[in-house]
Chains A and B, each alone.
Chain A
Amino acid sequence: MAGISKTSIARKVAMALSGLFLVLFLAQHFTINFTSVVSPSTFNEISHFMGTNFVVQAILQPILIAGVVFHFVMGFILDIRNRKARGVGYAKFNGAANSPWVSRNMILTGIVVLAFLGLHFYDFWIPELVHKYVETHPDDPYRYYDETVAKFAGDPFRTGFYALCFIFLMLHLLHGFASSFQTMGVNNKYSGAIKTFTKAFAIVIPMGFVFIAIFHYFNNL
């Protein structure tokens, strides 16, 4: 086991595992958010549970933050190492001839998603921390739906920016989700089904988030 963490394959596997973990989180986040479209009371109920449950707040949330930070930091480290491995660049490099754009631009789509996370934290996570720990408001299980909807109501720019960022998340997932299985060594008779599933996931979930944002924007005109 000695030295495994220093090898290229180990770094890639760690990257793949953290990515798969974030994909699971994304599915869970989407499921909760989608309830805001069909049932505001259910959305409030689940949000209240997530915002007050000890296990979620004290254990799962720090793990999630660690996973996000690790994924981004390792992404940048791998990108820097990969650029160094080329040394002198090509005068002409026709990457489009042999590989999809999404596979060659994971760092670009990743940076956009990182910028989006900054806005998302500014919009929701920081106000939540201020609400609970700075202003120490009393527990209110009915505030979540209104707070969420208020971010999109009457704000076409924020809604549009969210939609644009989720398109970049889709592009990131279109390569990253399937790629993580290859990195984990999965390439067998199930690979076709895995690829279909990961592509469907990469499109449906981000587009679902876009739908939710647009729904709340138009629903509150």
Chain B
Amino acid sequence: MKLKLKIWRQEDAQAKGGFQNYDVDGIDGDMSFLEMLDVLNNNLVNEGIEPIEFDHDCREGICGSCSLQINGEPHGPDRRITTCQLHMRKFKDGDEIVIEPFRAKAFPVVKDLVIDRSAFDRIQHAGGYISVNTSGNTQDANSIPIEKQNADDSFYAATCIGCGACVAACKNASAMLFTSAKVSQFALLPQGEVEAHERVISMVNQMDKEGFGNCTNTGACYVECPKGISLENIARLNREYLSASVFS
């Protein structure tokens, strides 16, 4: 398969950046999208051109490192996958593919296709935890009865890998799906009740401070989320936040 690639190149965070066109040949349909970029980078190195920087780590859809806006969609045209799980069979011979970094003011470009997603870490640090006394008297978590549905919903929310596709897909660059998943995974469990009010207020305040946009319920985040994090979490975040604002 032969492809025309239009890829965003940017020297560093301060540089202006722009698109560069590349041709790549010999791409097999069973390759992943990142492997296709590996082939391109190999060619570039052989030609003495600086390879394209892009994030990747586990390459099995778990770590959330690989980002990339591919032909206008985060992680490309397939559903419930990350870029490393996107296969080249989704494209046709001769296709032009536009590859950009995830765009958000809160996700500044570091270089080429690499972005700084530490805004998510700071939201998590603001309250995405429970304080557990580890003096030796901690109650066994298995002895605390939890309704099955709540346990399932909590674990489902916890499958969020923080890849940032929700922000990239949202026309407002909103981080509500990420923040709601991180709030929900605790809000649904008794262990999370103690700090529930502080948690939601701190995390929403941090989310706003980072400069993410407002949720307008387009649902694009859910559609593009590799883990299918539900919009119910956003409604729960809204409820938790309103409740915490009124009662704390």
Identify the A interface with B (CB < 8 A): 1, 3-4, 6-13, 78, 81-82, 84-95, 97-100, 103-104, 106, 175, 179, 182-187
**Residues 144-196 of B contacting A (Cβ, < 8 Å):** 169, 171-174
B21 at the interface (CB under 8 A from A): no
Closest 3 CB pairs of A and B: A94-B72, A85-B213, A187-B235
Question: CB-nearest residue of chain B relative to A185?
Answer: B239
Which residues of chain B are within 8 angstroms of A7 by Cβ–Cβ distance?
Answer: 204-205, 208, 241
B100 at the interface (CB under 8 A from A): yes
Smallest CB separation, B167 vs chain A (Å): 9
A-B contact pairs, 22 of them (CB 8 A): A7-B208, A8-B204, A8-B215, A9-B238, A82-B171, A85-B172, A88-B103, A88-B109, A89-B103, A90-B72, A90-B100, A91-B8, A92-B71, A92-B72, A92-B100, A94-B73, A95-B72, A97-B73, A98-B223, A182-B234, A183-B217, A187-B231
B126 at the interface (CB under 8 A from A): no
| Pair A8/B100 contact, Cβ less than 8 Å | no
A interface footprint on B72-98 (CB within 8 Å = 1, 0 otherwise): 110001000000000000000000001
Inter-chain CA distance A87–B69, complex, in Å, is 15
Inter-chain CA distance A93–B208, complex, in Å, is 24
Which residues of chain A are within 8 angstroms of B208 by Cβ–Cβ distance?
Answer: 6-8
Inter-chain CA distance A97–B213, complex, in Å, is 20
Which residues of chain A are within 8 angstroms of B8 by Cβ–Cβ distance?
Answer: 91
B112 at the interface (CB under 8 A from A): no
Inter-chain CA distance A6–B208, complex, in Å, is 9
Partner of B224, one of A78, A98, A186: A98
| Pair B106/A98 contact, Cβ less than 8 Å | no
Inter-chain CA distance A87–B239, complex, in Å, is 29
Q: How large is the interface on B (under 10, 10 to 19, 20 to 34, 35 or more residues)?
A: 35 or more
CB-CB under 8 A for A86 and B173, given A92-B100, A94-B72, A99-B220: yes
Inter-chain CA distance A94–B74, complex, in Å, is 10
| Pair A91/B104 contact, Cβ less than 8 Å | no
Which residues of chain B are within 8 angstroms of A88 by Cβ–Cβ distance?
Answer: 103, 109
B207 at the interface (CB under 8 A from A): yes
Question: CB-nearest residue of chain A relative to B108?
Answer: A87
Partner of A85, one of B211, B217, B231: B211
**Residues 192-227 of B contacting A (Cβ, < 8 Å):** 204-205, 207-208, 211-220, 223-224
Most interface-central of A13, A84, A86, A179 (chain B CB within 10 A) = A86
| Pair B207/A8 contact, Cβ less than 8 Å | yes
Inter-chain CA distance A81–B207, complex, in Å, is 14
Which residues of chain B are within 8 angstroms of A1 by Cβ–Cβ distance?
Answer: 245-246
Smallest CB separation, A104 vs chain B (Å): 5
Inter-chain CA distance A74–B218, complex, in Å, is 18
Question: CB-nearest residue of chain B relative to A84?
Answer: B105
Question: CB-nearest residue of chain B relative to A94?
Answer: B72
Most interface-central of A9, A88, A97 (chain B CB within 10 A) = A9
B22 at the interface (CB under 8 A from A): no
B232 at the interface (CB under 8 A from A): yes
Which residues of chain B are within 8 angstroms of A92 by Cβ–Cβ distance?
Answer: 69, 71-72, 98, 100
Question: CB-nearest residue of chain A relative to B244?
Answer: A4
Inter-chain CA distance A187–B180, complex, in Å, is 13
Inter-chain CA distance A4–B104, complex, in Å, is 24
| Pair A9/B241 contact, Cβ less than 8 Å | yes
Inter-chain CA distance A95–B223, complex, in Å, is 11
Inter-chain CA distance A12–B234, complex, in Å, is 12
B236 at the interface (CB under 8 A from A): yes
| Pair B218/A99 contact, Cβ less than 8 Å | yes
